[in-house]
Structure 1
Amino acid sequence: MPECSAARVVADRMIDTAEAVLASLDGTQRDQAAWPWSEATEDERRRWFYTPTDHGGLPVAAMTPRQYQRTMALVASGLSEAAYTTVTTVMGLENLLDRTEGFAGFDFARERGRDPGQYRLRIFGEPGAPVWGWRFGGHHVSLNNLVMGGELVSATPCFLGADPAGSPLLGATTLRPLGGVEDLGRALVRSLDEEQRSKAVLGTRAPVDIVGGNRTRVGPGDRVVPLGDIFRGRFADPERQARMDDSYVAIKRYYGITEADNAAVELTAEPRGVPASSLNSDQRGQLLALLGCYTGRVPEELIEREAARYAGPLLDQVHFAWAGSIEPGGACYYRLQGPRLLVEYDNAPRQANHAHSVWRDPENDFGADVLGAHLAAHHA
């Protein structure tokens, strides 16, 4: 299927499902879910989170079952089958996490802290308009899509996390929503020879989180954002804020993380790590498989388009970096960085049982690049 028609097929599906959601909402619900496309709402469109905070929009808890179903149809319209399976599994983990914390964890300034009803939808602009977009997010899920000219032009930042990262199932098996995403990275670093590994491994300690955090834009010099700052504002209750800040300090102390460790993994203009040009053919295949865990989050029609960005010699410019233990079960972090690419994976909190993963296009997150070109061409 040609690229343009594939992007249009996906956009048409998004339009149909978004219109179905909006048509089912009453006035109060629509005020929460639907915002106009304007300069005044642009800052909100580019604001995103992955913590259990108010992500902005209509929560699924305030929807009827039919509205909730239509919302999930919209979510599915922007994801591959594997990615949708992962998203819905991550949402369900909220009930498991609540049990892990004894049904008495942080309340996060709301009645129930670990609440699967707090995933929220917000649509910006009118579906089918020349430019419009939508966002769906809650704890460990952040999906951001921009449609322009009848085509899906941006699907990043795209964040998926899992807490617990691994949970026991009947039959002596384990539920690991991001297990393959971690295992492929660990297999790649373990395949490196001594010279390759000396370039790839940035440090022996994994950072406590992805380095780019929830910044609207990522760039050189960025370091890990303290946990308490990845919420919609600081907590009004000083005690609650202090508990959040203390939990960040505690995990750093547990792993012995220093500022030198954070400096080792900070983002740089020139990618750190081992370039794909230094990998052998088998390792390049492993790198492509790892990349596919991120570019494969888009609908099936667009996976080939995303993968083509790193086909053949283009892959040479992608760098693979690692920090932490290379042994299974150890705290770990990896990064893939190249032209218009920043992938991060981290699994350090809860004794390496709390994973974060994100796929970003630093030049075109939220459609910034294509939107800027559109505005320059048509609204100069």
Structure 2
Amino acid sequence: MGLTRRKRPCAPRPRRFSRRSRLLRAALSDAGHGKATEIFALEAILGRIEKFSRNRDPDNYSWTVFGAPEDASGPWGFRVEGHHVSLNFAFAAGGEAVTPSFLGANPARVPSGPLEGQRVLGAQEDLARELVRGFAPAHRARAIIGTRSLGDIVTGPGRGDALRTPVGLAIGEMDAPHRSLAERLLDEFVRNLRTELAEAQRARIREAGLEAIHFAWAGPLEPGRAHYFRMHGPRLLIEHDNTQNDANHVHSVWRDPTRDMGLDILAEHYKSGHHGAP
């Protein structure tokens, strides 16, 4: 079953919002739920910035449920799709799939109004910048793969297999403080999940080899400049880009190449008509 998108912007209906919130909480932690709902709310802010509010609706998201959530013995899942949110979950007796996961934010930093300064996805950017700026020169040279941002997510529309070999600096080569910081950056994505789901993902990542995960950065190191970073390992691919709109528009993707639910989420994002060419 699914809920179709609204055709005209208006305030979300309380009962519908409550149902959707409960569905999100089946998979997301308080932190993840907060990020998702704040991204929904950014649509209204973006509408005011663009002076085209009819095209920006915080309620304009598609919610699809597969199977019967109330049947604990059977498989089920759900998907949330819309501007800057694509969340995909499948649950079965043998395990779960919690990726691909796409979160974006425009504006990445709210420029004015009651929420001035809000940065929904700011923590992941700050941790990554702190990590790369703290490396010794030799390690920083290996971690930086370009002096300019790559411009968007690399594994974007039609490029799902574009990244096969990790590049950058492996966590196993970092000293203890930087390794700890890299793990905090990784967990900024994983902790979006409900506790038991997050623990399962942490276990999978450790089993596959935490030390084999590579961190890479492209672009200047100063805040407010266009940049890109990546964490890439055997069962993990995280990409973050903040290039568009004068580096105030974030795209971020978390994928498990061995276990994704199976959807080219950035392609769907662009097909929704919210952008021009990638």
Would the aligned equivalents of 2:77 and 2:89 in 1 still touch at CA under 8 Å?
yes
* Pick aligned residue for 1:95 from 41, 44, 48: 44
**CA separation of 1:147 and 1:214: change in aligned 2, threshold 3 A:** farther
* Pick aligned residue for 2:251 from 356, 361, 368: 356
Report the structure, 1 or 2, having the larger helix content: 1
- Confirm whether residue 195 of structure 1 aligns to residue 138 of structure 2: yes
**Secondary structure in 1 matching 2:20:** helix
Give me the CA root mean square deviation: 2.5
- Partner Cα distance (2:33, 2:112) in 1: 21
**CA separation of 1:85 and 1:191: change in aligned 2, threshold 3 A:** same
Give the match for residue 85 of structure 2: 141
User: Gapped runs of 5+ residues in structure 2?
Assistant: 264-278
Give the match for residue 319 of structure 1: 214
Give the match for residue 131 of structure 1: 75
Equivalences for residues 246-265 of structure 1 within 5 A: none
TM-fit CA distance, 1:343: 0.3
**Secondary structure in 1 matching 2:128:** helix
Give the match for residue 175 of structure 2: 280
TM-fit CA distance, 1:302: 2.6
TM-fit CA distance, 1:333: 0.3
- Confirm whether residue 59 of structure 1 aligns to residue 13 of structure 2: no
- Partner Cα distance (2:204, 2:221) in 1: 28
Would the aligned equivalents of 2:27 and 2:197 in 1 still touch at CA under 8 Å?
no
**Secondary structure in 1 matching 2:59:** helix
- Partner Cα distance (2:97, 2:6) in 1: 24
User: Gapped runs of 5+ residues in structure 1?
Assistant: 1-29, 34-56, 105-111, 223-266, 369-380
Q: Deviations over 1:337-364 (max 9, x none)?
A: 0011000000000110000111110110
Q: Deviations over 1:236-255 (max 9, x none)?
A: xxxxxxxxxxxxxxxxxxxx
TM-fit CA distance, 1:77: 1.7
Which of these two proteins has the greater Rg computed from alpha carbons? Answer: 1
How many residues align structurally? Answer: 258
Equivalences for residues 74-113 of structure 1 within 5 A: 74-103=23-52, 112-113=54-55
**CA separation of 1:95 and 1:367: change in aligned 2, threshold 3 A:** closer
TM, length-normalised to structure 1: 0.63
Give the match for residue 14 of structure 1: none
- Confirm whether residue 71 of structure 1 aligns to residue 17 of structure 2: no
Would the aligned equivalents of 1:156 and 1:359 in 2 still touch at CA under 8 Å?
yes
TM-fit CA distance, 1:103: 2.1
Would the aligned equivalents of 1:320 and 1:334 in 2 still touch at CA under 8 Å?
yes
**Secondary structure in 2 matching 1:175:** coil
Mean CA deviation greater in 356-365 or 171-180: 171-180
- AA aligned to 1:183 is D
Give the match for residue 210 of structure 1: 153
* Pick aligned residue for 1:119 from 61, 74, 78: 61
Would the aligned equivalents of 1:145 and 1:152 in 2 still touch at CA under 8 Å?
no
